[in-house]
């Protein structure tokens, strides 16, 4: 899925830990997060609502000295063992009753902590598998699940020597990145070589190198799977999958890049197809041995069935969780925290209204000068919110190298068709002024 578009917190953004403390019942939850903005704040708000205290473990504390004044545990998720030890030292004096993680990097640290504290969560090996596309394919193959042709090569290999062994069309993927970053379709040997070199250059970037992950050394190649694509938000309780929502992705994702834009739920697929999605995803969960906690997955659906593309041991990213509400107005963050504390959440069905989110794509590289017509977009019937997360003067990089969006549009209506129409109309009203060079401040 996606990553938070904001790399820093603006003055008008809510700050974790600044509000007066709520009445708490002694339960302490741990949130592991690389983000510093709205998504972490949503979890804090949810914890306050249920009367639990929330402790944040984050790697952003190494950038500035606790600018949010929330007492977060400073960790480095590229070193999960060391990070887990820091959290365990805290937990000796401050017992933790449950935990969850935002984004892919913190999930391994979360699994290590959960194992040592005997908390219900996903096993370490299962999390490691989800963070590596090749390992996931291998586990699913061993379980006899239907898979596309796939193979991996080291990123420093010569793509000209590899192209003859690849079926076309194919899709090239970095093993450890998410949100379609670095994913490119190739229909010929020439396109394959260009795509391979482009991904290899991305993996050599300082940002990726800092992660020190073995998966950054490899590029996976898979045969292209035609069909429509869906995203699934789920929750696992001791291995049993409950599908919370199936999101249609109405924009065709056929390449050469696979930028996600609109998510709409409930899905307009048939009941039989939805059952196939649930069955395929449960089979993949069993193969990987995920156990307890949130799950986000991407699948392709065609005449051959439902094909699991990716699974992540975390909830949907960015601000997209705002598109989901459950019984009594419970948000996804509250549901996840209640589940982490061992509370039953089966009696919290998704709301009856249709809902959706649009991740506003970056049309071209450059620097954001301003966003125009936001009030006009907000006035579109069905639109609940327009959230521009990109900052003025921010460098914008589109996919496949980019890792963020311009912002998010949220809509609710009586039908999925009306939700999709509202999102498209609102997006059509927005105007993004992007300059090729940084504007001069006068």
Residue 174: give its domain's CATH number.
Answer: 3.30.1490.20
CA nearest neighbour of 186 among 178, 200, 176, 196: 196
In this structure, the answer to whether residues 124 and 167 fall within a common structural domain is no
CATH number at residue 441: 3.90.1170
Q: Assess contact for 101 and 52: CB atoms under 8 A.
A: no
Token pair of 202, please?
A: 């991305």
How far apart are alpha carbons 63 and 6 in whole angstroms?
15
In this structure, the answer to whether residues 442 and 364 fall within a common structural domain is yes
According to the model, what pLDDT value does residue 136 have? 97
In this structure, the answer to whether residues 115 and 193 fall within a common structural domain is no
Poorest-confidence range of 23-27, 165-169, 238-242, 366-370? 23-27
Determine, yes or no, domain membership for 11: no
CA nearest neighbour of 1 among 296, 435, 253: 296
Q: Assess contact for 227 and 177: CB atoms under 8 A.
A: no
Determine, yes or no, domain membership for 335: no
What mean pLDDT comes out for the span 374-385?
98
In the listed set 172, 192, 223, which residue is the last one of a domain according to the structure?
223
What mean pLDDT comes out for the span 319-342?
96
According to the model, what pLDDT value does residue 13 have? 39
According to the model, what pLDDT value does residue 439 have? 65
Helices of type H across 321-386: 332-340, 374-378
Task: Tally the residues of the chain.
Answer: 442
What mean pLDDT comes out for the span 190-219?
89
What mean pLDDT comes out for the span 174-198?
94
The domain of 73 spans 28-129
According to the model, what pLDDT value does residue 66 have? 45
What mean pLDDT comes out for the span 211-240?
92
Task: With a cut of 80, say whether residue 363 has pLDDT above it.
Answer: yes
According to the model, what pLDDT value does residue 231 have? 98
pLDDT band at 23 (very low <50, low <70, confident <90, very high): low
In this structure, the answer to whether residues 118 and 203 fall within a common structural domain is no
Token pair of 328, please?
A: 């009594």
pLDDT band at 8 (very low <50, low <70, confident <90, very high): very low
In the listed set 81, 99, 129, which residue is the last one of a domain according to the structure?
129
pLDDT band at 209 (very low <50, low <70, confident <90, very high): confident
CA nearest neighbour of 3 among 426, 399, 434: 399
Count of beta carbons in the 10 Å neighbourhood of residue 120: 17
Determine, yes or no, domain membership for 425: yes
DSSP symbols for 266-293: S--S-HHHHHHHHHHHHHHHHHHT--SE
According to the model, what pLDDT value does residue 21 have? 43
In this structure, the answer to whether residues 425 and 361 fall within a common structural domain is yes
In this structure, the answer to whether residues 210 and 181 fall within a common structural domain is yes
Chain position carrying tokens 């697929």: 269
What mean pLDDT comes out for the span 97-105?
95
In this structure, the answer to whether residues 153 and 96 fall within a common structural domain is no
According to the model, what pLDDT value does residue 326 have? 97
Task: With a cut of 70, say whether residue 287 has pLDDT above it.
Answer: yes
Determine, yes or no, domain membership for 329: no
What mean pLDDT comes out for the span 195-223?
88
Task: With a cut of 80, say whether residue 401 has pLDDT above it.
Answer: yes
At a CB cut-off of 8 Å and minimum separation 6, what does 335 contact?
Answer: 235, 244, 326, 345, 348
Task: With a cut of 70, say whether residue 125 has pLDDT above it.
Answer: yes
Mean pLDDT taken over the chain:
90
According to the model, what pLDDT value does residue 24 have? 65
Omega prior to 427 cis, within 30 of 0: no
In this structure, the answer to whether residues 160 and 93 fall within a common structural domain is no
According to the model, what pLDDT value does residue 5 have? 33
Determine, yes or no, domain membership for 169: yes
Poorest-confidence range of 110-124, 375-389, 396-410, 428-442? 428-442
In the listed set 83, 101, 129, which residue is the last one of a domain according to the structure?
129
In this structure, the answer to whether residues 85 and 157 fall within a common structural domain is no
Task: With a cut of 70, say whether residue 341 has pLDDT above it.
Answer: yes
According to the model, what pLDDT value does residue 418 have? 98
120 φ, ψ (degrees, to nearest 5) = -70, 120
According to the model, what pLDDT value does residue 403 have? 84
According to the model, what pLDDT value does residue 129 have? 97
How far apart are alpha carbons 31 and 107 in whole angstroms?
10
Q: How far is CA 428 from CA 259, 374, 416, in A?
A: 17, 11, 18
Cβ burial, residue 265 (10 Å; 0-12/13-18/19+): buried
Task: With a cut of 70, say whether residue 71 has pLDDT above it.
Answer: yes
In this structure, the answer to whether residues 123 and 56 fall within a common structural domain is yes
Determine, yes or no, domain membership for 254: no
Task: With a cut of 50, say whether residue 20 has pLDDT above it.
Answer: no
Specify the pTM.
Answer: 0.91
Q: State the DSSP code for 257.
A: B
Task: With a cut of 70, say whether residue 52 has pLDDT above it.
Answer: yes
According to the model, what pLDDT value does residue 344 have? 93
Question: pLDDT digit string (tens) for 242-271?
Answer: 999 999 999 999 999 999 999 999 999 999
How far apart are alpha carbons 312 and 297 in whole angstroms?
6
Task: With a cut of 60, say whether residue 10 has pLDDT above it.
Answer: no
Bridge-based pairing state of the strands 28-33 and 53-58: parallel
CATH number at residue 63: 3.40.50.20
Token pair of 253, please?
A: 């994702």
Q: Assess contact for 42 and 28: CB atoms under 8 A.
A: no
Determine, yes or no, domain membership for 417: yes
Determine, yes or no, domain membership for 185: yes
In this structure, the answer to whether residues 111 and 157 fall within a common structural domain is no
Task: With a cut of 60, say whether residue 137 has pLDDT above it.
Answer: yes
CA nearest neighbour of 322 among 403, 384, 250: 384
Total number of domains constituting the chain: 3
Token pair of 108, please?
A: 């391994």
Bridge-based pairing state of the strands 383-388 and 325-326: unpaired
How far apart are alpha carbons 408 and 413 in whole angstroms?
17
Question: In which element (H, E) is residue 33 found?
Answer: strand 28-33
How far apart are alpha carbons 295 and 235 in whole angstroms?
6
């Amino acid at each position: 899925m996606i990553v938070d578009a904001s790399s820093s917190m603006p003055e008008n953004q809510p700050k974790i830990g600044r509000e007066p403390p709520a009445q708490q019942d002694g339960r302490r939850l741990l949130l592991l997060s690389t983000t510093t903005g709205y998504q972490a704040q949503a979890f804090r708000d949810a914890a306050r609502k249920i009367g639990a205290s929330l402790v944040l473990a984050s790697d952003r504390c190494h950038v500035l000295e606790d600018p949010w004044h929330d007492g977060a545990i400073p960790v480095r998720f590229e070193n999960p063992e060391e990070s887990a030890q820091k959290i365990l030292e805290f937990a000796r004096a401050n017992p933790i009753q449950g935990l969850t993680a935002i984004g892919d990097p913190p999930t391994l640290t979360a699994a290590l902590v959960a194992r040592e504290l005997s908390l219900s969560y996903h096993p370490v090996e299962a999390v490691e598998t989800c963070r590596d596309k090749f390992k996931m394919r291998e586990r699913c193959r061993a379980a006899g699940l239907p898979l596309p042709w796939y193979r991996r090569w080291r990123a420093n290999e010569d793509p000209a020597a590899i192209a003859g062994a690849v079926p076309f069309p194919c899709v090239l993927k970095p093993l450890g990145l998410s949100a379609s970053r670095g994913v490119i379709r190739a229909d010929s040997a020439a396109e394959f070589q260009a795509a391979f070199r482009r991904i290899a250059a991305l993996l050599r970037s300082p940002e990726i190198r800092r992660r020190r992950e073995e998966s950054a050394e490899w590029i996976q190649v898979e045969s292209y799977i035609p069909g429509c694509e869906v995203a699934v938000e789920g929750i696992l309780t001791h291995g049993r999958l409950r599908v919370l929502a199936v999101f249609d992705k109405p924009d065709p994702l056929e390449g050469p890049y696979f930028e996600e834009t609109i998510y709409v739920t409930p899905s307009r697929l048939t009941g039989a197809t939805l059952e196939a999605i649930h069955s395929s995803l449960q089979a993949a969960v069993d193969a990987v041995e995920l156990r307890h906690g949130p799950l986000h997955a991407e699948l392709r659906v065609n005449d051959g069935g439902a094909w699991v593309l990716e699974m992540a041991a975390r909830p949907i990213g960015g601000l997209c969780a705002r598109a989901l509400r459950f019984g009594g107005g419970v948000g996804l963050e509250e549901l996840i925290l209640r589940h982490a504390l061992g509370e039953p959440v089966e009696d919290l069905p998704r709301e009856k209204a249709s809902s959706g989110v649009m991740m506003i794509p970056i049309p071209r590289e450059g620097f954001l000068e301003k966003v125009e017509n936001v009030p006009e977009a907000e006035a579109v019937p069905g639109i609940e919110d327009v959230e521009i997360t990109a900052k003025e003067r921010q460098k914008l990089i589109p996919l496949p190298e980019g890792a963020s969006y311009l912002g998010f549009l949220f809509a609710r209506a009586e039908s999925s068709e009306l939700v999709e129409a509202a999102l498209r109309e609102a997006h059509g009203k927005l105007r993004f002024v992007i300059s090729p060079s940084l504007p001069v401040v006068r």
